[in-house]
Amino acid sequence: MSFWFEEPLETELGRTLKIRCSRRLAEIKSPFQTIEVLESDYFGRILVHDKVIMLTARDERNYHEMIAQVPLNVHPQPSRVLIIGGGDGGTLREVLKHSRVESAHLCELDEQVVEVSRRYFPKLSASFSDPRVTLFFQDGAAFVAEKEDYYDLIIVDSSDPESPAEALFDRNFYENLHRALRPDGIAVTQSESFIFNLDLLTSIASFASRIFPVYDYYYALVPSYPSGIIGFSFCSKQRHPLNDMLEEKAACVPGLTYYNREIHRAAFQLPAYAVEALGRILG
């Protein structure tokens, strides 16, 4: 029998998300969280961590293409790439579409996320078998703190700013990202929705814009996420996300369903209230 999966957002404010599902394929309690895989009527398979949707088969490409393809089509030579989080393999899949990537490190805290993806999301987890890939199972904040002048691109594909991901949203972490990057490096971090999380966004912008010479925010439309929008902080030592976009490179990436050059540019255009809030921070 079908059932409704409900993700509580802010029940005291009357916000919740419900998706009708046909069956529960898995429920695993790892040392860090409860991982579920659901089969839904509309969204296909859904990956859930502690009752929060991480991805759905129907719209995961919107998120994964935008978190990865935007910086990959700005940096001309992303040879060494680090992904923090992203244990489902979707962001890694996008990174590996670029032949100039020589090594891709993925640092995921919870090894069970990778194992679940291997079993239930083969189109994402196939990326783990690429010879350019090395997997690390440890805390991402501690991992990047040990690196210096090493990566061309760091993508932080994190869950929401709650334990254990809370450390990925503070100033110290962004300082470590800066140190771990090469002189022309770029970091992109999952930074929630400007609709429901504007205070968090402005908090990140207040310190990230002082750590990185170039800071901006962009977003993707992902219907299964709260508000249907998820945003990203673009943090760069040199390169501007629009002025330095490599047009020809962006037009030649294979297998894309959401990202294109026009979406790349449009994603940085925010509503007036968000522009105003960021303007008070960025000047």
Task: Give me the residue spans of the domains in the chain.
Answer: 3-56, 60-282
Q: How far is CA 281 from CA 8, 145, 190, 194, 206, in A?
A: 31, 26, 19, 14, 6
3-state secondary structure at position 237 = coil
**pLDDT tens figures, 18-63:** 999 999 999 999 999 999 999 999 999 999 999 999 999 999 999 9
Which helix (H) or strand (E) segment holds residue 115: the answer is: helix 111-120
Q: Domain 3-56: what homologous superfamily?
A: Spermidine synthase, tetramerisation domain (2.30.140.10)
Task: Provide the pLDDT for residue 166.
Answer: 75
Other Cβ atoms less than 10 A from the Cβ of 14: the count is 7
Q: How far is CA 255 from CA 10, 34, 104, 185, in A?
A: 36, 32, 19, 25
**pLDDT tens figures, 85-113:** 999 999 999 999 999 999 999 999 999 99
Task: Provide the pLDDT for residue 165.
Answer: 67
Query: pLDDT below 70 — which residues of the chain?
Result: 11-13, 162-165
17 φ, ψ to 5°?
-125, 130
Percent of the chain at pLDDT exceeding 90: 89
Sequence letter at residue 188: V
- Choose, from 59, 110, 157, 216, the residue flagged as catalytic: 157
**Cβ(46)–Cβ(37) below 8 Å:** yes
Structure token pair of residue 102? 């020589």
Domain covering 60-282 in this structure, CATH number: 3.40.50.150
Say whether 60-282 and 3-56 share the same fold. Answer: no
The DSSP string of 156-183 is EE---SSTTGGGGGSHHHHHHHHHHEEE
Work out the end-to-end distance of the chain between its first and last CA atoms, rounded to an integer number of angstroms: 55
Instruction: Examine the residue annotation and report whether 157 is marked as an active-site residue of this protein.
Output: yes
Give 6's DSSP letter: E
Among 7, 19, 104, residue whose Cα is nearest residue 50: 7
- pTM value is 0.96
